[in-house]
Structure 1
Amino acid sequence: MGRYDERDPLTEEDLAGIADLPKVELHLHHEGAAPPAFIRGLAKEKSVNLSGVFREDGSYAYRDFVHFLSVYEAATEVLKTPRDYARLTTALLEDCAKNGVIYCETFISPDFCGGGDLGAWREYLHAMQEAAAEAERDMGITLRGIVTCIRHFGPDKARPAARCAAETAGDWIVGFGMGGDENRGELRDFAYSFDMAREAGLQLTTHAGEWRGPSEVRSAVEDLRVARIGHGVRAIEDLALVDLLAETGVVLEVCPGSNVMLGVYPDLATHPIAELRERGVKVTVSTDDPPFFHTTMRQEYVTLAETFQWDAEVMREITRTAAEAAFCDEETRKTILKRLET
């Protein structure tokens, strides 16, 4: 049910309807969602030289994943004040709302917002919350924050980030996670920080199984005991692990366009999201760092539908899975689920 056969392909009308569906996004990096024009404008205001960050056409320039991380961090150099982050919050939510996103969770790092200092972090957080509240009022989009440590900064620097998360946990900061270079260190090295966040009542996610193989996904489940995994797609290489994900209900925050752009898979047709779903794993769809990967949530929905012949029923099911896996409070979840029914 929900998948067309070759005799009944999706029509342009079907695809237009899928593009217009209300959406829920769980895997979005705050700085990584910054429109290039926004970053260039800030750089001009502050007289910051960002040579090498952009291509001639104005898009972000990077060669591979490691270089992408360097460009990402270089672009954040213009984001220096709480007001900068408030403006960024407004800009990214405008783009999300244009793509039909009604709820999203964004990864925010105290390392970029005050250098891990709790007092400075509170100022940045207040500015982002105010901007998010205005966007919810004016655009009808709800934002919540997931504090992240940066893996390639090491376990010691993860602890101040976890403390910032624990001290500001509540209705808006709802989770803790980790991004960065998956090939650096081991997930178990960060267990202390994840335990600190868990004790503060935060829900947990981490990037795993994007670059390293299925053992990394297993470590996320067993060593960090997360409820969600960012990417996680290489779990498909170990079907026993796939069964474990299905049995435990661990949710994958899948970013198909990102995986293809960075070369994890050569094209969408070879991406394992469909097989993971068919084997009972809970999958969701997100953009990761949309301007870097030349994608939007509308585009992700349409290209998935075209590639796997998923109709609107399948896409609605995936969106409901995301809403049910969101780290928000139950009242917010009920509101989002109700909006998805309209």
Structure 2
Amino acid sequence: MKDLPKLELHLHHEGAAPPAFIRGLAAEKNVDLSGIFEPDGSYRFDGFTHFLSVYEAATSVLQSPEDYARLTRAVLEQSAEAGVIYTESFVSPDFCGGRDVEAWRDYLHAIREAAEQAERDMGITMRAIVTCIRHFGPEKARETALCAAETVGDFLTGFGMAGDEMKGTPEDFAYAFDMAREAELRITCHSGEWGDPKSIARTLDVLRPERLGHGVRAAEDPRLMERLAESGVVLEVCPGSNVALGVVPDWASHPIERLRRAGVRVTVSTDDPPFFHTGMVREYDRLADTFGWDEEVFRELALTAVDAAFCDDETKTRLRKRIET
């Protein structure tokens, strides 16, 4: 599966940081992060809430645009090694300059320069999606949306929301999403990882995303699956993450095949791969082993991801050619 061209639409930039990279930065800055690592050097966490805390602790050593340039290079190297030809990475002004627009510009410029160099060196294309952090609250989400609106372009193309899905309501964040939409940013939103089908429906009604991050609990409601299929809303499914965090008990129980057979448009991503001991090759291998998917199914998934990608038509045409050949 390594040689199959892959697209990834749901990747958290900091969450994709290799543990060795974060340990190295911590050593450079004399920051003690030993408590977030296992003896073997991997990230240590217990459950989703603790995962968020460990994620934010690891992010604390990313303190400058140069740090993010180095991070971007490290993340794209591991993605390219797995056969990823296009990735959309979630980035947040909350971690890049404290939601100050001018500071955010510097961080984004550094990320973009590193991404463009990676494309020249490794053939992987990146686009950025700004995410507000749900558990930071709606006021900070508005500040994050302003940063996104001020820097929208051919590299920063989308806006979404991550974090603790059980905090607040979609209505709390409607202003931020409206601001992003008015700036012509494409819209996605985490929903249906922990929240039930009713919360997914409310997200669709209020925030009007064209994609959903995770969305797997939609499989519990046939009417919601029918709505997703008819509307064409695409799910950014992260099976390995769902298993690791206990959203589902095991791979055999994952609803991705049920969603796909119901006509819901699904894609495959890794979410925060080093945290969940996964990668795109492992995701493909486990899906093939569990559901009997062959290369034709994975090709269909890749083409669905091209259609759903937040990039220009010229880039999509180039990606389709790479998949089809």
TM-score normalised by structure 1 residue count = 0.94
From 108, 118, 140, the counterpart of 2:91: 108
2:321 is aligned to 338
- 1:160 aligns to 2:113 (yes or no): no
- How far is the alpha carbon of 1:221 from its aligned partner? 1.1
Q: Deviations for 1:170-211, whole angstroms, at most 9, x for unmatched residues?
A: 100000000000011111210100000000010000100001
1:298 is aligned to 281
- 1:53 aligns to 2:43 (yes or no): no
Counterpart residue identity of residue 190, structure 2:
H
2:155 is aligned to 172
How many residue pairs were aligned? 325
2:259 is aligned to 276
Helix, strand or coil at the partner of 2:60: helix
Deviates more, 1:101-110 or 1:218-227: 218-227
For residues 195 and 326 of structure 1, the distance between their equivalents in structure 2, rounded to whole angstroms, comes to 20
- How far is the alpha carbon of 1:290 from its aligned partner? 0.2
From 315, 318, 324, the counterpart of 2:301: 318
From 18, 22, 30, the counterpart of 1:35: 18
Helix, strand or coil at the partner of 2:300: helix
- Contact 1:19–1:302 (CA under 8 A) maintained in structure 2: no
2:236 is aligned to 253
For residues 155 and 19 of structure 1, the distance between their equivalents in structure 2, rounded to whole angstroms, comes to 41
From 13, 26, 51, the counterpart of 1:68: 51
> After the TM superposition, which segments of 4 or more aligned residues of structure 1 sit over 3 Å from their partners?
none
- The percentage of counterpart residues that share the same residue type is 67
Flag structure 1 segments of 5+ consecutive residues without an equivalent: 1-17
For residues 319 and 309 of structure 2, the distance between their equivalents in structure 1, rounded to whole angstroms, comes to 10
2:104 is aligned to 121
For residues 222 and 2 of structure 2, the distance between their equivalents in structure 1, rounded to whole angstroms, comes to 32
- 1:134 aligns to 2:104 (yes or no): no
Q: Deviations for 1:134-159, whole angstroms, at most 9, x for unmatched residues?
A: 00000000000000000000000001
The 5 Å alignment of 1:172-251 reads 172-251=155-234
Counterpart residue identity of residue 195, structure 2:
R
Helix, strand or coil at the partner of 1:56: coil
- Contact 1:25–1:105 (CA under 8 A) maintained in structure 2: yes
Helix, strand or coil at the partner of 2:113: helix
Q: Deviations for 1:257-276, whole angstroms, at most 9, x for unmatched residues?
A: 00000000010100000000
Deviates more, 1:273-282 or 1:214-223: 214-223
The 5 Å alignment of 1:4-43 reads 18-43=1-26
Q: Deviations for 1:233-262, whole angstroms, at most 9, x for unmatched residues?
A: 000111100000000000000000000000
Flag structure 2 segments of 5+ consecutive residues without an equivalent: none
Helix, strand or coil at the partner of 1:78: coil
For residues 225 and 331 of structure 1, the distance between their equivalents in structure 2, rounded to whole angstroms, comes to 26
TM-score normalised by structure 2 residue count = 0.99
Counterpart residue identity of residue 43, structure 1:
A
Helix, strand or coil at the partner of 1:198: helix
For residues 121 and 62 of structure 2, the distance between their equivalents in structure 1, rounded to whole angstroms, comes to 24
- How far is the alpha carbon of 1:51 from its aligned partner? 2.5
Helix, strand or coil at the partner of 1:182: coil
2:130 is aligned to 147
- Contact 1:93–1:141 (CA under 8 A) maintained in structure 2: yes
Counterpart residue identity of residue 85, structure 1:
Y
- Contact 1:220–1:229 (CA under 8 A) maintained in structure 2: no
CA RMSD after TM alignment: 0.6
For residues 331 and 164 of structure 1, the distance between their equivalents in structure 2, rounded to whole angstroms, comes to 26
For residues 217 and 318 of structure 1, the distance between their equivalents in structure 2, rounded to whole angstroms, comes to 22
- How far is the alpha carbon of 1:217 from its aligned partner? 1.2
